[in-house]
């Protein structure tokens, strides 16, 4: 073996760590960072207003949730007799118990918001284009996993809110034809929410979902790197994009964002404890019995349509979201918010149409429109299901065509308008469900 071979062998396999402790720690930290990031990143990718740090914030929240979740497991007892008292004990007797629970609760709710906003950012900048379709789909599954985490965690305190939100939520499943009831029975371990359901939800929450989340997140990050980093506007021929080293340029932004987020969450958790209502009472549903807040848009739809149609509509929207990379293949507008100046105008119009139309439709349907009474000869599945569903889908198609013809938008820009309409619509339905639904789910004013 020549001297050269020996030194290469040494470099590869006998890495000699720096002598002093600080340099050694720095070497390990840098190594970890450079497993996640490339060594250099394009300068425009560092702009805070491009990503708003939403992917990183979501990742930080996921880590915080795992840490606080493991701590909570030391005290939580997943039995119908002891779950509620174990939470009460944690809140009042265990040092920092209330703080850890509040951190877990608020991080979980915030993660639904930040992962959703991250999806919106990725869509609006065309981050699903140029070879990133697979990561877009992985992201969608991640969002579903985040919602499943929240949903299964909701039951664990075994208070009135938990019991009835899960009862309402799982009862929706029974409207899914063929497999719905079987899936609901499998999840609940029987026909209703009881000990088997609590045990199943706990197992899914602390074992199944974390494993899926960690695997998917790892793949998601690896894929961002593999796809050449985050999306960028295509550079003009001959243009050279400045590239900066990840350490310190990117890492200092990430650390600052994580520090601000964690400090903010701590402060919030200190002053706003996680809610805990009275012990679950299967005999006395609260009025109104609402689902968890992120399902209130869906619950609102159920007030207007046959349950099958109300489930089919979000199912179709989800399928359309999966298909987005295949529906919008124009690659020269990647990396620009709303695609173009026309796209920006269409997005604004989409938002305005949603704000004007959706509350109006909710009010009209609540007080005046009654399809089953108008069409008494038809089964409600058609009069109150198929007809409103087709009208909604027809309305969305009409909106797309309107953007294409009146506003001279190309396919990509018209899709932005439709996406903004659907997203603002979902947010509005959720807000109506949270603030404007009172006893018997009737429309009320919150003030």
Question: Of 220 and 437, which has the nearer Cβ to ligand HEM?
Answer: 220
Distance from C-alpha of 383 to C-alpha of 389, rounded to nearest angstrom: 10
140 is a contact residue toward ligand HEM (CB under 6 A): yes
Contact segment (CB under 6 A) with ligand HEM among 134-142, 203-211, 236-244, 370-378 equals: 134-142
Distance from C-alpha of 312 to C-alpha of 326, rounded to nearest angstrom: 21
Helix, strand, or coil (residue 285): coil
Contact segment (CB under 6 A) with ligand HEM among 24-32, 98-106, 113-121, 256-264 equals: 113-121
Site for ligand HEM (CB under 6 A): which residue of 76, 84, 106, 128?
A: 128
Token pair recorded at residue 100: 């850890």
Q: Are 158 and 84 in contact (CB under 8 A)?
A: yes
Please, which residues have CB within 8 angstroms of residue 351's CB and are 6 or more apart in sequence? 420, 421, 424
Say how many C-beta atoms besides its own lie within 10 A of residue 443's C-beta.
14
Site for ligand HEM (CB under 6 A): which residue of 68, 150, 160, 231?
A: 231
Distance from C-alpha of 49 to C-alpha of 259, rounded to nearest angstrom: 18
Question: Of 143 and 302, which has the nearer Cβ to ligand HEM?
Answer: 143
Conformational region of residue 287, where left means phi above 0, alpha means psi within -120 to 50, and beta covers everything else: beta
Helix, strand, or coil (residue 175): coil
Question: Of 98 and 231, which has the nearer Cβ to ligand HEM?
Answer: 231
Site for ligand HEM (CB under 6 A): which residue of 46, 113, 117, 217?
A: 217
Distance of CA 23 to the CA centre of its chain: 39
Size of the site for ligand HEM (CB under 6 A): 27
142 is a contact residue toward ligand HEM (CB under 6 A): yes
Question: Of 207 and 352, which has the nearer Cβ to ligand HEM?
Answer: 207
Q: Are 155 and 163 in contact (CB under 8 A)?
A: yes
Question: What x/- string results for residues 45 through 84 when contact with ligand HEM is judged by CB under 6 A?
Answer: ------x--xxx-xx--x----------------------
135 is a contact residue toward ligand HEM (CB under 6 A): yes
Name the H helices within 328-369: 341-367
Residue ranges in contact with ligand HEM by CB under 6 A: 51, 54-56, 58-59, 62, 115, 118-119, 122, 125, 127-128, 132, 135-136, 139-140, 142-143, 146, 217, 220, 224, 230-231
């Amino acid at each position: 073996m020549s001297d050269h071979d020996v030194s290469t062998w040494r470099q590869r396999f006998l890495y000699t760590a720096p002598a002093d402790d600080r340099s050694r720690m720095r070497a390990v930290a840098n190594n970890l960072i450079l497993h996640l990031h490339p060594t250099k990143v394009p300068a425009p990718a560092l702009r805070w207003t491009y990503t708003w740090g939403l992917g990183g914030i979501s990742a930080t929240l996921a880590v915080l949730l795992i840490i606080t979740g493991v701590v909570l497991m030391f005290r939580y007892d997943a039995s119908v007799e002891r779950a509620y008292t174990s939470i009460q004990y944690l809140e009042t007797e265990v040092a920092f118990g209330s703080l850890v629970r509040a951190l877990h609760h608020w991080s979980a709710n915030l993660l639904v918001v930040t992962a959703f906003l991250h999806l919106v950012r990725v869509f609006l900048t065309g981050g699903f284009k140029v070879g990133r379709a697979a990561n877009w789909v992985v992201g969608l599954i991640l969002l579903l996993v985040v919602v499943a985490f929240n949903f299964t965690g909701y039951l664990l305190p075994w208070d009135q809110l938990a019991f009835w939100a899960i009862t309402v939520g799982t009862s929706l499943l029974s409207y899914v034809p063929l497999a719905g009831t079987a899936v609901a029975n499998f999840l609940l371990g029987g026909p209703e929410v009881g000990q088997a359901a609590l045990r199943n939800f706990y197992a899914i929450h602390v074992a199944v979902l974390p494993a899926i989340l960690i695997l998917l997140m790892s793949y998601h990050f690896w894929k961002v790197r593999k796809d050449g980093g985050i999306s960028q506007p295509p550079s003009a021929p001959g243009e050279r994009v400045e590239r900066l080293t990840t350490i310190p340029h990117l890492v200092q932004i990430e650390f600052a964002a994580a520090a601000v987020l964690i400090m903010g969450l701590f402060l919030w958790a200190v002053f706003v404890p996680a809610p805990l209502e009275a012990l679950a009472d299967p005999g006395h549903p609260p009025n109104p019995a609402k689902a968890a807040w992120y399902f209130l848009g869906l619950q609102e739809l159920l007030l207007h349509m046959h349950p099958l149609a109300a489930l089919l509509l979000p199912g179709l929207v989800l399928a359309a979201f999966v298909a987005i990379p295949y529906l919008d293949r124009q690659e020269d507008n990647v990396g620009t918010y709303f695609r173009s100046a026309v796209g920006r105008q269409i997005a604004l119009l989409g938002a305005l149409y949603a704000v004007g139309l959706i509350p109006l439709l909710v009010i009209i349907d609540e007080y005046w429109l009654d399809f089953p009474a108008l069409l008494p000869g038809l089964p409600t599945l058609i009069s109150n299901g198929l007809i409103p569903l087709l009208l909604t889908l027809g309305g969305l198609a009409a909106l797309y065509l309107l953007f294409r013809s009146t506003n001279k938008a190309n396919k990509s820009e018209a899709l932005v308008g439709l996406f903004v309409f659907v997203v603002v619509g979902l947010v509005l339905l959720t807000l109506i469900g949270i603030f404007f639904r009172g006893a018997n789910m009737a429309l009320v004013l919150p003030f």
